[in-house]
Amino acid sequence: MVLQTEKRYYTPEEYLELEEKAEYKNEYKDGEIIPIISETTNHNKIAGNFCRKFPLTVQAQDYDIYISDIKVWIPRYRLYTYPDVIVIKDKPIYEGIGTTTITNPLLIVEVLSNSTKNYDKTDKFKYYRSISDFQEYIMIDQYSFAVEQFAKQAEGQWIFKEYEGEEAVLVLDSIDFQITLRDIYERVDFELIED
């Protein structure tokens, strides 16, 4: 006989309380708490390289950049998630009373791993697109010199660009900034088998 356990659903408030005390990060999706798989060293280097090279002021416009530990709240899908890199124009708009969850990302970067790339490219991108301030999505492969970019042109219209090879240059659409893939992948060891 197989014993079935009833799935537990949590309110956003219960999740936030549990997450504050949790040893590991978890996403929240419409009542479910989903553990986040820990990052690899290559994953961490790639996200860090993008952050290090990103200017906080571009043409007299101010930007803030956050890495890994800041949540994004997506109300339409009742989702709390931790993007790898978030760029915000001007000031963050916070959800709730703390300063750990924002609602106004302009640009999101996800470093793809074998275990998360399908989710990052499909459902997660759909969820991100429901955010009104969201203009650009960058997905960086951690196993080769390969970057995918989606830039919002109009409501419901996103332009796709693909970059491959060490000499390629990623040119952002929402911000006047470009970076070589060589810089993004600085000190990344593709020989390491992680994930």
Please give the pLDDT value at position 57.
83
**C-alpha distances in Å from residue 127, one per residue of 108, 121, 171, 172, 178:** 12, 11, 24, 21, 26
Please give the pLDDT value at position 2.
57
| Cα three-residue angle 127-141-183, rounded to 5 degrees | 115
Inter-residue long-range contacts of 22-27, CB under 8 Å, 24+ positions, other chains counted: 25/69, 25/82, 27/79, 27/80, 27/81, 27/82
Q: How far apart are CA 175 and CA 161, in angstroms?
A: 16
Quickly list H helices, 68-164.
Answer: 117-121, 123-129
**In the 8-state DSSP scheme, what is residue 126?**
H
Q: In what order do the strands lie in the sheet with 101-102?
A: 32-35, 26-29, 79-81, 71-74, 101-102
Q: Identify the segments of the chain with pLDDT beneath 70.
A: 1-5, 193-195
Q: Which two tokens stand for residue 112?
A: 């793809």
SS3 194: coil
For 81-131, the pLDDT digits (tens) are 999 999 999 999 999 888 999 999 999 999 999 989 999 999 999 999 999
Please give the pLDDT value at position 194.
59
Percentage of the chain modeled with pLDDT above 90: 82
Nearest alpha carbon to residue 67 among 46, 85, 54: 85
Amino acid at 66: Y
| Cα three-residue angle 78-81-84, rounded to 5 degrees | 155
Please give the pLDDT value at position 5.
65
